[in-house]
Amino acid sequence: MLGDFLKALGQLGDRRFLKVVLLGVALSLALLVAVYAGFAQVVAWLVPDAIWLPFVGEVTWVETLMSWGSLLLMIGLSVFLMVPVASAFTGLFLDTVADAVEDRHYPSLPPAPNVAWMDTLIDSINFFGVLVAVNVLALVLYAFVGPFAPLMFWTVNGYLLGREYFQMAAMRRLGREGARALRKRHSGQIWVAGMLMAAPLSLPVVNLVIPVLGAATFTHLFHRLSRER
């Protein structure tokens, strides 16, 4: 598994990898800006320009304080937002990354058959919905697990991301049913690989390149496990 990751890391300078990284950064920033703009607008609607406090008088900096507070909150929430962003990478960019990996490391393979675009879109939308629902529920549970919250985050999202990334990587070669069968036979290893991907998604800036490395790593993982069948 470490070898799969190191191979992916060694190809990070590939032009196709860099193109996807730049697209991913743009996608991530656009999402964060859109969410923050919406949140800031809600704060502006709900918080008055000034309030009156006994013994203090008129306070006019409440809205400014809330605005800065909302910015810090969004930076914190970006950790959680990067998980659905990473899932979006699966459907949008995995083929580009996987083709680059296979051209360099598996040149004898025939071209992968095209997966129906509608099937990929439906799978991505369904998974995105599951991912958001699970993480919203997990946000409530994090308050009860205290210092184990990061472990819970990595475990839950590691399972979901590993399942999705491997399924999409395997579908390119085996089809939906073949990919599902291979995933079930190696579910433990795929879960661990997903956790190793989910952990650095918690790190700002670093998490911008993790979806690309994840797509490449799971492509290597698929080819290794398919040879062990």
Does position 68 have pLDDT exceeding 60, yes or no? Answer: no
The pTM score is 0.76
Overall average pLDDT of the 139-161 stretch: 81
Q: How far apart are CA 101 and CA 137, in angstroms?
A: 36
More confident residue, 22 or 49: 22
Question: What pLDDT band is residue 219 in, cutting at 50, 70 and 90?
Answer: very high
Please report which confidence band the pLDDT of residue 224 belongs to, taking 50, 70 and 90 as the band edges: very high
Can you give the pLDDT at residue 59?
47
Domain positions in the chain are 2-12+80-227
Q: Which of 103-112, 184-193, 197-206 has the lowest mean pLDDT?
A: 197-206
**Residue where the block lists tokens 């960019």:** 93
**pLDDT > 90 fraction of the chain, expressed in percent and rounded:** 12
Section 194-203 average pLDDT: 84
Listed range (62-71, 133-142, 182-191, 199-208) with the worst mean pLDDT: 62-71
In the predicted structure, residue 78 carries a pLDDT above the cut 50: yes
Average pLDDT (151-160) is 85
Quote the pLDDT of residue 183: 92
Q: What is the mean pLDDT of residues 55-82?
A: 57
pLDDT tops 50 at residue 56: no
Mean pLDDT of 51-63: 50
pLDDT, tens digit (0-9, with 9 covering 90-100), for 108-148: 888 887 766 676 667 777 777 777 777 777 777 777 777 88
Whole-number pLDDT of residue 111: 84
